[in-house]
Amino acid sequence: MSDADWWRGACIYQIYPRSFYDSNGDGIGDLNGITDHLDYVAELGVDGIWISPFFTSPMKDFGYDVADYRDVDPIFGTLDDFKTLLHKAHDLNLKIIIDLVLSHTSDQHPWFTEKPEYYVWADPKPDMFGVLTPPNNWVSVFGGPAWTWHEEREQFYLHNFLKEQPDLNFHNPDVQQEALDAAQFWLDMGVDGFRLDVVNFYVHDKELRDNPPRDADLGPAVQFEGDDPYSQQNHIYDKSRPENLDFLRKLRKLMDQYPGTFTLGELGDDHPYERTVEYTGDGLLNTCYNTQLMSGKHKNLTTDLIREPIEHFQSLCEDNWPSWAFSNHDVVRVASRWLPDSDGFSQNPDCSKMLIALLGCLRGTAFLYQGEELGLPEARLNFYDLQDPWGKHLWPEWQGRDGCRTPLSWNGKEPEGSWLPVAEEHKDMCVEKQIQDEQSVLNFTRDFLAFRKQQTALTKGTMAFLSDDQDVLHFERSHDGTNLFCCFNLTDTTQHIQTFLLGNPEVLFSNNFEGETLEPFGFAIIQVG
């Protein structure tokens, strides 16, 4: 993978380190556990790994509250452990992308005490009764005001997430330099790039203006579709400010000193497609991690759900390169979310296979979340098992993000005492059993990704949708005279296509497909002449 554009059309595997593999028996996955299983990841046929945060942290938000940008939290190991992981991954021809959380730190970061000017502070709003009122109406994604009173300073500080995650003040040039220095530290170590957490949250409105009421046609502001305060506002002042791009230009200048490195931005915005084009234009970020195919607790999978975001993005700018994922560490697992008539915790191996193939056939960089290659469903948890602060806040409407974060089952005999319980239904779908089953989702994933790597039309080609059918998704991928017709039955009933219209069709890869019949969740990738 010497190509500097290796990431275009790559498939990247996301590892949530707490739940991947526990190498020392303390109940928490770690870096050595990842290193020990890099061969497994390489055998999937992916091109790289994105590792969720492993930095020093008090773990109020499980690593997304950073207390030291240049060290590994002891629960995950040491810097030397990470270097070992990095070297072995590169020996296996795997790129390593790490999660860089720059919009905020932990309140336990030394800066919060020693360099308070690095954070966003504001006096209370004047009140004739002496009530300490926040300076504006901004609210936290995780519920409640986005401001917390600090007794010693007698001011409020801003936090878009937990109160233990104070926002950094990117209007301060020293903060921007600290962020760039942190990135350079890991680039010098040899990482291949960054997934930039909430990349559009870095800069806030200097005037601290109130957000206006939300336009109804914008829909929910967070992936949980509930009546939450965050979805009552149009978020034009607390994020996605134009000054954000000034910092990203500085970051791009740094990345350019390390050829072949990669930047992936996570965007949480009311106008995701337009913002993606803005953030990936003019050489800023390589691509953005689009969350439009991951929202909600359960949705009926129709062709419009896939087609509309992709066509909208392509209509804005065909040159910018998208990234797509169906699952990650923040959302309900897709094996349950898009399964027809699912109770929210069920799965179907044919549906999981079809979704793996569909993701791999979309134009863009594909992201697989650990366990997706096994077809794992969402885990059902009791309230007393929950660790996620967001889940505790939203219970019982939603159990939060823990349902997709339970530890992987490798042999079905995992010991008790892990930070989240291993789901019983996952033990029957463990890695060891699936390796031995030729028809398993795991072996299908390996076969499909090996096939995909040989099809330049799938990794680099153009994409055009061909039908308005709501049950069967039809599109064409084309590159240098090769045309691939891709059809996917999104339902649990038999559907039909007319292959005789294609002209000298050759079926290259399929499942549950025979002649012109797509069985439930069947699909076919057909080369046409």
Report how far residue 183's alpha carbon sits from residue 193's, in angstroms, rounded to the nearest whole number: 9
Query: For residue 12, which phi and psi values (nearest 5 degrees)?
Result: -115, 135
Pairing outcome for strands 48-51 and 95-100: parallel
Report how far residue 239's alpha carbon sits from residue 275's, in angstroms, rounded to the nearest whole number: 11
Distance of CA 67 to the CA centre of its chain: 22
Report how far residue 528's alpha carbon sits from residue 501's, in angstroms, rounded to the nearest whole number: 10
Token pair listed for 106: 């932990």
Report how far residue 76's alpha carbon sits from residue 30's, in angstroms, rounded to the nearest whole number: 4
Active-site residue, selected from the candidate residues 167, 266, 278, 373: 266
For 44, the enclosing helix (H) or strand (E) is: helix 38-44
Report how far residue 154's alpha carbon sits from residue 208's, in angstroms, rounded to the nearest whole number: 18
In the residue annotation, 197 being an active-site residue is answered as yes
In the residue annotation, 117 being an active-site residue is answered as no
Active-site residue, selected from the candidate residues 61, 81, 192, 197: 197
Task: Give the CA distances from residue 351 to residues 14, 75, 330, 511, 522, in Å, rounded to whole numbers and listed in that order.
Answer: 21, 36, 21, 10, 8
Report how far residue 220's alpha carbon sits from residue 155's, in angstroms, rounded to the nearest whole number: 31
Please tell me whether residue 474 adopts helix, strand or coil conformation.
strand
Report how far residue 57's alpha carbon sits from residue 348's, in angstroms, rounded to the nearest whole number: 37
Report how far residue 462's alpha carbon sits from residue 476's, in angstroms, rounded to the nearest whole number: 8
Asked if residues 109 and 69 have their Cβ atoms less than 8 Å apart, the reply is: no
In DSSP terms, 148 is beta-bridged to: 157
For 90, the enclosing helix (H) or strand (E) is: helix 79-91
Distance of CA 200 to the CA centre of its chain: 15
Which sequence positions are flagged as catalytic?
A: 197, 266
